[in-house]
Structure 1
Amino acid sequence: MKMRPSIYIFVFYSVFYLTVGKKFKENEKPEWAKKDIRDFTDVDMERLLDQWDEDEEPLPEDELPEHLRPPPQVDFSKFDASNPEAVLQASKKGRTLMTFVQVSSALSRDETEEVTKLWQSSLWNNHIQAERYLVDDNRAIFLFKDGSQAWTAKEYLLEQEKCESITIENKVYPGKYSKTAKEEL
């Protein structure tokens, strides 16, 4: 059985590439890439990560972290200029928003826990998703994944007897039964 000359050439180039070709490719690498991985600095690791990310497809918009997602497009012409809260509510659609809820100072920490847990359950039953975190004996944070829901929740919470106030975007809303609301009457 005779081998053709083309097969010899193929074998020769294959062996040449596997032995000598690798050395040529290594010489094309930048100096930082020739280092041992244990000697890489943070800058070298960032470069390596950037190279890996070059070939990847970008994530779909809904899978991006919130701070990388584009803000919602709000058509301000559709809003009444005399109602700035409606504009603020629309601008918070799809964004995380924290609200602070102050409960009656007469309640203990355990009572505050129970009352805010009841309020959270009521909000969930009304399809308003809010996470609740106690930050003080009489204060809790309600975290809304969809910030536009905070204003609907505000209307419910302000009607509760043990709610003193709610703070949304640095604006304080006194509760219906709070001392501040009674003084205004």
Structure 2
Amino acid sequence: MTSSPRLIKTHFPVQFLPKSFWEQKCRIIYVARNSKDNAVSYFHFDRMNMVEPEPGDWPSFLQRFQEGKMVFGSWYDHVKGWWEKKQANPKILYLMYEDLAEDMGRELDRVCSFLGLSLTEEERCKVIEGVGFDAMKKNSMTNYSTIKVMDFKISPFMRKGKVGDWKNHFTVSQNEQFDKEYQKKMTHTTLRFRTEI
């Protein structure tokens, strides 16, 4: 893209961003999702994405997820790395998926403030409507329906988007084991997630 401002989307961990991002003082909006819903979403994505390795069954996938043996590494390292970078860098806005699902208008106001934008009420309503999960699920620009490596017979790219869907996948023992591991890995951070709203 040669126009300005440019928009770049990435799933990279913070340490993989080129130095130029920090030197140019780029504004960065990072969106994090709670680990349990993220694991479920990632599992279904790997099932339908023919480029990713075969995810195997849910128990083995969940174990690999907790061990950080994923394409972009550990979820724990990813979210904590960006969180730590944000503490010293005012050019990073750290958003939570759960907050977006709970109150898109409030989070849109935060994004606009961060970017120095003001919207008319009409523009604001249009954005809120356009970024809603159901609208994005129907939009071929966001639902990946035109990408041939996605097998929609297995699962849609945009499946549910619900906070708390992990409860439909985790067994009681998986949840208990996951919580123990989560506590260990998230002990030394101020970062907090909600697994339901």
Normalised-by-shorter TM-score class:
under 0.3
- From the CA coordinates, give the structure whose radius of gyration is larger: 1
Considering Cα pairs closer than 8 Å and 6+ residues apart, tell me whether 1 or 2 has the greater RCO. 2
Which TM-score applies when normalising by structure 2? 0.21
